[in-house]
Amino acid sequence: MKSKTMEKHRASSPSKLSCGVITLSDSKYEDSKKGENTDESGELIIQTIEEKYSLDSYCIIPDEVKLLLSAIEKMIDKKIDVIFTTGGTGIGSRDITIETLTPLFEKELTGFGEIFRRETYHTLGSGAILSRATAGVYRKTLIFAMPGSPNAVKLGLSIIIDELNHLVKHLKE
C-alpha cells in the first residue's frame, strides 16, 4: 500500500545529491598505492551513484580509526550529503568501521541494518548474523556502512538508492 504523504515527500525531495565513498581495506589501499585498482565494491557504489547523483569524493584507506574519522570529516566539510563506506564491518581484529561510526551517530537508521540482514538471511541463511551493516546521521550527513563484498554492496544499494532523496529531504529539515 502506498502512502500519499510519503509520495508527496518523495516528489518534493532534492533531485541533486552530493555523495562520497570510502573503501576501508588494508590490501586495496596497498594496491592503490601501486597504481592498481582492485576496489570492486567501491567501483560498484560509484557506478550506482553516478546513475542518479553526483560523486564528489572517493578514497581508499587502510582499516585505521583516525583515517576513517579524518575522511568523514573532510567529506562533511565538502558538504557531502551521503557517505557510503564499504569494508571493515566484519568481526575480525582489523574491522573497525562499526565501532568507529556508531559513537558518531546522532541518530541511527536501524531499519537499514535490519532489512540488510533479513535480505542476506534469505540468500545466505544463518551466515547473515555476521553482517553488521548499519547507517546513521552525523552532522546532517547520512552515512551507510556496508560490508566489503560486491554482493553485499549490491544488496545494500538496492535497499537505499531510490530512497536517498527522501531521506536527505527529512535530514535537511
Q: What is the CATH number of domain 17-171?
A: 3.40.980.10
The radius of gyration computed from the CA coordinates of the chain, to the nearest angstrom, equals: 16
Report the DSSP beta bridge partners of residue 83.
Answer: 20, 143
Contact 108, 101 (CB under 8 A): no
22-50 tens-digit pLDDT? 999 999 999 999 999 999 999 999 999 99
* Dihedral (CA of 167, 112, 139, 83) sign: negative
pLDDT of residue 49: 96
Burial of 9 by CB count in 10 Å (0-12 exposed, 13-18 middle, 19+ buried)?
Answer: middle
Residue type, 18: S
CB-CB contact of 136 with 104 (8 Å): yes
Distances from the Cα of 138 to the Cα of 16, 44, 80, 105, angstroms: 20, 24, 11, 5
**pLDDT of the residue at 172:** 85
What number is the average pLDDT over the span 9-14?
Answer: 54
Per-residue pLDDT reduced to its tens digit, 136-154: 999 999 999 999 999 999 9
Residue 9 pLDDT greater than 70, yes or no:
no
pLDDT for the residue numbered 93: 95
60 pLDDT band (50/70/90 cuts)? very high
Given a cut of 60, whether residue 1 has pLDDT beyond it is no
Give the relative orientation of helices 150-160 and 40-52 as an angle to the nearest 10 degrees: 20
How do residues 94-144 score in pLDDT, each as one tens digit?
Answer: 999 999 999 999 999 999 999 999 999 999 999 999 999 999 999 999 999
